[in-house]
Amino acid sequence: MDVNTKKLKKNAYRVTKERGLAASRVRVPGGRMDAKYLADIQNIADNYGNGTVHLTIRQGFEIPGIPFEKMPEVNELLQPIIEGLGINQEVPGQGYTSSGTRNIMACVGNSMCPYGCYDTTDFARKMEKAIFPNDLHFKVAFTGCSNDCCKVRMHDFGIIGMTLPQFDPNRCVSCGACTKACQRKSVGALSNVNFRPVRNEEKCLGCGECVLACPNMAWTRSEKKYYKLTILGRTGKKNPRMGEDWIKWIDEESIIKIVTNTYAYVREYIDPTAPGGKEHIGYIVDRTGFEEFQKWALKDVTLPDIAEVVTPMYWKGVKVI
């Protein structure tokens, strides 16, 4: 059976080592799904695959052992799952385009975790709508707080949740719990002055440890959500690099705009000879310089007044291992 493997991959399938068999690949934006879809996945795995399911590193799932000729039937069965997960789709009933941009990962966020500063899944699904489908090699990840359980600094764009802690002196009982928590579990941004906590604004990570430690709710989370944006981390065969902290106290709208702007930047400067038409964004920045990237990324972006942009950015540049 002749199969166009490029078309197969773009239809959310993986070519496997077994001749004539593929693996259905379905991304789960934000890493959360309704349990009811597990029965549908089992049905496909038992009746069309080899009875197993692989949970991927990027919070998706693969159903291996699917014969090429059965893919149209599997696509029909996958349709309610695709719709339920909110995956952007071009032609219903025929799978979905999936090639370059990877699934958007997220930790559990504040829906379950007491440390989470925002709803990571909700933000991840908004990003899904903004950037999919797309062939360019982008990796985006969300983590609810500075603990960074999702390892977002290993991605092109990492979004770390922050809160601007609000202090009510009338509720403070001068117990020092917040200061001790900040010193032991965070960066020591609080100090006691006349038996009251004083926050070092430059040092504060917005992690919310003071809020969790206060027994009398003198510290509370800000109603407005803020984030730290880290950029251009990557793994790979050569030149793995941790992402750099770029903008602190940034808002949701600005982050989405920066990511979509970067797609335009990559289309302009990508190496047309790159294998598979894919190139890590960091390699492109190595060629153009960080200032050119920043010019494109911040086009028409209005940052919050409290946003702090790292400037100048000391980009590490090319390093061959």
pLDDT of residue 193 exceeding 60, the answer is yes
Q: What is the mean pLDDT of the chain?
A: 91
Phi, psi of 175 (to 5 degrees): -85, -20
Which superfamily does CATH assign the domain made up of 105-162+225-309 to? Sulfite Reductase Hemoprotein, domain 1 (3.30.413.10)
Per the model's pLDDT, the better-predicted residue between 223 and 317 turns out to be: 223
Confidence of residue 4 (pLDDT cuts 50, 70, 90): low
pLDDT in tens, 162-180: 999 999 999 999 999 999 9
Q: Crossing angle of helices 290-297/252-269, nearest 10°?
A: 130
Q: Where are the domains of the chain?
A: 5-85, 105-162+225-309, 166-220
Confidence of residue 275 (pLDDT cuts 50, 70, 90): confident
**Which class is domain 5-85?**
alpha beta
Which token pair is 121?
A: 């899944």
**Which class is domain 166-220?**
alpha beta
Q: Alpha carbon of 271 to those of 102, 123, 125, 284, 287: distances in Å?
A: 19, 31, 30, 8, 10
Using a 10 angstrom Cβ sphere, with 0-12 exposed, 13-18 middle and 19 or more buried, the burial of residue 161 is: buried
The distance from CA 230 to its chain's CA centroid, rounded to whole angstroms, is 11
**Cβ-contact 118, 223 below 8 angstroms:** no
pLDDT in tens, 74-86: 999 999 999 999 8
pLDDT of residue 2 exceeding 70, the answer is no
Which token pair is 27?
A: 């991304």
Cβ-proximal residues to 110 (8 Å cutoff; 6+ apart), any chain: 116, 117, 118, 119, 120, 144, 161
Q: Where are the alpha helices (DSSP H) in the chain?
A: 5-10, 36-47, 71-85, 120-131, 177-185, 209-213, 252-269, 281-288, 290-297
pLDDT in tens, 95-149: 777 667 899 999 999 999 999 999 999 999 999 999 988 889 999 999 999 999 9
Confidence of residue 238 (pLDDT cuts 50, 70, 90): confident
Predicted structure pTM score: 0.91
